[in-house]
Amino acid sequence: MPPKRQRKIEIYADTIDIFTGSPANSSSRPKRKQPDTEAASAAHPPKRQAFGPKSCNSRDTSFRQDDSFLDEKSGVKGSDENEGAGAGNSAKPVSALKTAFQPGNEIRKYLEAHDVDAKELASMVDCDKIQEVADIISKKELWTPSLVSCFADSMIEKLDLNLPASSDGFSIPEFPPAELLAPLFAQRRFTKLTTLNLRNNILSTDDIALLRLLPSLTTLDLCGTGITNMALYNLVCHRHTLTSLNISNNQGITDEARFVFRPLYRLTALFLRGTNISMPALRRLVIDDLPKGCRLLSIPAHAIETINNMQEKYAADIPAGYIEDPSKVEHATMPVLKRNLELHAKFNKDVQVTGTKVELVHRLKALLGNRYSDMRIVAVLGRAN
């Protein structure tokens, strides 16, 4: 076995000379070179700095742009100094709506092909009668995706995109709803739009999602659009503005839809005719979910039948001395329970007045609970006087 190799030990510590008091091996450490003269230092110019001198003001952005800006629409670079001077010489930009009604434009040709006096509409646009122009287009049912886009930056407050109901219950639109509603899905567009009518347009959940960026929407008509409960969740973002909602004639709206109305605290009008919301769910909707002051302007047909025939289910008019509040039933005695059930049995022969106390309490509590809920439905049904 070869002998182990001995390591060479080097001592780097400085040893002090006892006679002179200076390090004995001080020459082993390299020292930084210093220029001897000013000429020698001038021969080596300083390195170029990567950035300019740091400003004492951290918000100073002059090193990025010298008071210049870039116009996003025109692509012309200018400065703040000559902005005011050039304002008088440059013409005011023409809006997209005015451009659409100029002679030779494709939108104007489209309107003229459908017997529309485009010249009159152009004069109305020049007079800022934007809403009147939109109403004329809605009356003639001539909306196109390009035409909707032209009104994006205008002060339009009402947009009517409804389709006429055909005899078989549905209509075939000229443009898919997704293309027609796509211009609405843009930030800082249609900022004044408060009323949107989409009646009889067959819409999907994704189509309803295109309405999420409308900041001022208060009235929405989705009657006969074929939407389901999932589509309604896209309306929760309008809880601060939405006051009127029409979801009539949509069979896909069921009992689970009542949870969507709870966040809509500004809702004052709700249309539910032609939906599949059951009577028990409608009762819970009125008691627990609808905001105070909301009116039911229409309800399903079976609910109307139940309200009209409430005298056949229980005693609608309870005389004095009988229990009206469902919360007081549990504290009643057996004779009192039987006496109250006998009163309701006069109107509904299916009501049984015999059984244990637990059964009688449950039976009377259910009757009084339905009566209380139905009375609340009657109270909020229709327009307020």
Residue 197's H or E segment, with its range, is strand 195-197
pLDDT band at 133 (very low <50, low <70, confident <90, very high): very high
What is the predicted pLDDT for the residue at 282? 97
pLDDT in tens, 198-220: 999 999 999 999 999 999 999 99
Q: How many angstroms separate the CA atoms of 246 and 231, rounded?
A: 13
Residue 168 has pLDDT above 60, yes or no: no
Residue 43 has pLDDT above 80, yes or no: no
Please state the pTM of the whole predicted model. Answer: 0.73
Least confident of 2-11, 76-85, 141-150, 327-336: 76-85
Please check whether residue 187 is in contact with residue 212, taking contact to mean a CB–CB distance below 8 angstroms.
Answer: no
Confidence of residue 256 (pLDDT cuts 50, 70, 90): very high
Q: Which residues, including other chains, have CB under 8 Å from residue 352's CB and lie 6 or more apart? A: 341, 345, 363
Given this model, what pLDDT does residue 96 score? 80
What's the rounded mean pLDDT across residues 128-154? 92
pLDDT the model gives residue 39: 57
| The Cα angle at residue 278 between residues 352 and 312, in degrees rounded to 5 | 35
> How many Å apart are CA 160 and CA 137, to the nearest integer?
9
Q: What percent of the chain has pLDDT over 90?
A: 61
- The answer, yes or no, to whether residue 80 has pLDDT greater than 60, is no
Average pLDDT over residues 14-26: 53
For range 352-356, the mean pLDDT: 94
Contact 93, 100 (CB under 8 A): no
What pLDDT is recorded for position 50? 55
Burial (Cβ within 10 Å: 0-12, 13-18, ≥19) of residue 187: exposed
Question: Mean pLDDT, to the nearest integer, of 339-357?
Answer: 95
pLDDT above 70 covers what percent of the chain? Answer: 73
Confidence of residue 97 (pLDDT cuts 50, 70, 90): confident
- pLDDT for 300 beyond 70: yes
- Report the first-to-last Cα separation within the chain, whole angstroms: 114
pLDDT beyond 70 at 11: no
Report helix, strand or coil for 75.
coil
- pLDDT for the residue numbered 52: 55
Mean pLDDT computed over every residue of the chain: 82
pLDDT in tens, 239-252: 999 999 999 999 99
What's residue 63's pLDDT? 43
Strand ranges of the sheet holding 295-298, from the earlier edge strand across to the other edge: 158-160, 195-197, 219-221, 244-246, 269-271, 295-298
Helix 118-126 and helix 130-139, axial crossing angle in degrees, nearest 10 = 150
**Pure H helices in the chain:** 38-42, 83-87, 96-100, 106-113, 118-126, 130-139, 145-150, 177-181, 205-209, 229-232, 279-284, 301-308, 334-345, 357-380
What average pLDDT does the segment 177-183 reach? 93
Q: Does the pLDDT value for residue 190 go beyond 60?
A: yes
- How far from chain centre, in Å, is Cα 210? 9
Residue with token string 């930030």: 187
Class of 176-308 in CATH: alpha beta
Query: Of the ranges 17-26, 56-65, 85-94, which is most confident?
Result: 17-26
- 112 band by pLDDT with thresholds 50, 70 and 90: confident
- Quote helix, strand, coil % in the chain, to nearest 5: 35, 10, 55
Q: Residues 329, 335, 339, 341: is their CA dihedral positive or negative?
A: positive
Tell me what the mean pLDDT of segment 145-173 comes to. Answer: 82
Can you give the pLDDT at residue 16? 54
* Lowest pLDDT segment from 164-168, 300-304, 307-311, 336-340: 164-168
> With 50 as the cut, is the pLDDT of residue 85 above it?
no
Q: How confident is the model at residue 76 (pLDDT cuts 50, 70, 90)?
A: very low
Task: Quickly state the pLDDT bin for 83 (edges 50, 70, 90).
Answer: very low
Residue 358, sorted as left (phi over 0), alpha (psi -120 to 50) or beta, turns out to be alpha
- Residue identified by tokens 């009159």 is 120
Q: Picking from 64-68, 150-154, 305-309, which range would have the lowest pLDDT averaged per residue?
A: 64-68
* Residue ranges of domains in the chain: 93-156, 176-308, 311-380
Q: How far apart are CA 182 and CA 202, in angstroms?
A: 15
